[in-house]
Chain A
Amino acid sequence: MMKRSNEPVFWSLFGAGGVVAAFLLPMLIFITGIALPLGILPPEALAYDRIHSFASGWPGKLFLLAVISLPLWQSAHRIFLSLHDLGIHRGREFCRWLCYGTALLGTLIPLILLIRI
């Protein structure tokens, strides 16, 4: 019998990250990187107090965690697989830890910071 792969765990995070990266990140980039600097949105839209109260509630915390963490898992998985596609196999375990480790840190640090708000 063949051994069951644990890949579904990483693939699910990859898939969820792909959805966030495709649907939410362009909007966030537009709001924070284009609309606010160009004055399309009023500067108060992202005022400290507003965002602080948004990040104080659980729906806000979850949203922020999702948009920070999930695209990192998506990128980590894609970069790790692309190394394999390109035939780069040296230091494979190191690359695995580097890719998924970055995503894990990018999940744990915001998680702790968000809980403490």
Chain B
Amino acid sequence: MTDIEKTIEIEVMRYHPEQDASPVFKTYRIPYASDQSVLQGLQYIKDYIDGTLSFRWSCRMAICGSCGVMINNQPKLSCKTFLRDYYPGKIRVEALQHLPIERDLVIDATDFINKLESIKPYIVPREARSLEQGEYLQTPEQLARYEQFSSCINCMLCYAACPQYGLKPEFTGPGVLALLHRYNADSRDGARADRMQIVNAEEGVWGCTLVGYCSEVCPKQVDPAAAVNRNKVNSTLDYFLRFLMPGGGESG
């Protein structure tokens, strides 16, 4: 058989809150091609079979972080996952776990966005510089300290993977803690003391039990678990140093 005659089944979670009491599954048979992503499969369903299917997507190349879904029970970017990885088996697509569903595969990201805002996800200059003084310089070594953690695309796959976030939604969570570390580890930044208050809380790094699945599912190799664990060390130093140092630790 050539690719043209082959088909593959995609089972998609459907949920329209105005008519469904709970999510239901619908199965669609679509043409198979070895170079097609699961996102393209969903787009085929929407264009040719059922126009009421809702899902988020934008860039199609693992940069925008919009198309995260559960594929056969694993959090994945649907643009970066291919039909060939499952063929001839069936593919089951669901909305990301642990997050409220707005409609079909579209989740409500409000909680994530609020947490992201709470950590000041931007550089708060350590020292003010005028335009004449030029740019803030950084050595390659200083860049290496945070560069990996700046690759986060806010896709929330790590939130769907994190059992702690599923059990306790107050937990700041892997992605936001990795970004918190990205700014705290930046030599140009001066807001570390503010962010340490979040790190030090039960809802901060101490909500993590180091399951490590966040780092496994991350499509950008950010390794949020490493960021969280480094901040367990930082928080522990902060906890004990405040007894030794005049004026307390860095976050008082």
Q: Given the complex, which residues of A lie within 8 Å of B235, measured CB to CB?
A: 5, 8
Q: Considering only CB atoms and an 8 Å cut-off, how many residues of chain B contact the other chain?
A: 19
| B209 & A2 in contact (Cβ 8 Å cutoff) | no
Task: Known pairs A4-B200, A8-B240, A11-B206; list 5 more (Cβ under 8 Å).
Answer: A2-B198, A3-B201, A5-B206, A5-B235, A7-B202
Q: Given the complex, which residues of B lie within 8 Å of A85, measured CB to CB?
A: 163-164, 209, 211
* Residue among A5, A12, A87 having the largest count of chain B Cβ atoms under 10 Å: A5
Chain B interface residues toward A at CB < 8 A: 163-164, 167, 197-198, 200-204, 206, 209, 211, 232, 235-236, 238-240
- B203: which of A2, A9, A87 is its contact (CB, 8 Å)? A2
Q: Given the complex, which residues of B lie within 8 Å of A3, measured CB to CB?
A: 201-202
| B204 & A2 in contact (Cβ 8 Å cutoff) | yes
Identify whether the interface residues of A are mostly helix, strand, loop, or mixed. helix
Q: Given the complex, which residues of B lie within 8 Å of A4, measured CB to CB?
A: 197, 200-201, 239
B63 to chain A, nearest CB (A): 32
- Contact A7 to B206, CB < 8 A, known contacts A2-B197, A85-B211: yes
Q: Which residue of A lies closest to B251 (CB)?
A: A4
Closest 10 A/B residue pairs (Cβ): A2-B201, A8-B239, A7-B206, A8-B236, A81-B209, A5-B206, A5-B202, A4-B200, A85-B209, A12-B236
- A87: which of B167, B197, B204, B209 is its contact (CB, 8 Å)? B167
A12 to chain B, nearest CB (A): 6
Q: Given the complex, which residues of B lie within 8 Å of A87, measured CB to CB?
A: 167
B231 to chain A, nearest CB (A): 11
Kindly identify, within residues 1 to 38 of chain A, every residue whose CB is under 8 Å from any CB belonging to chain B.
1-5, 7-9, 11-12
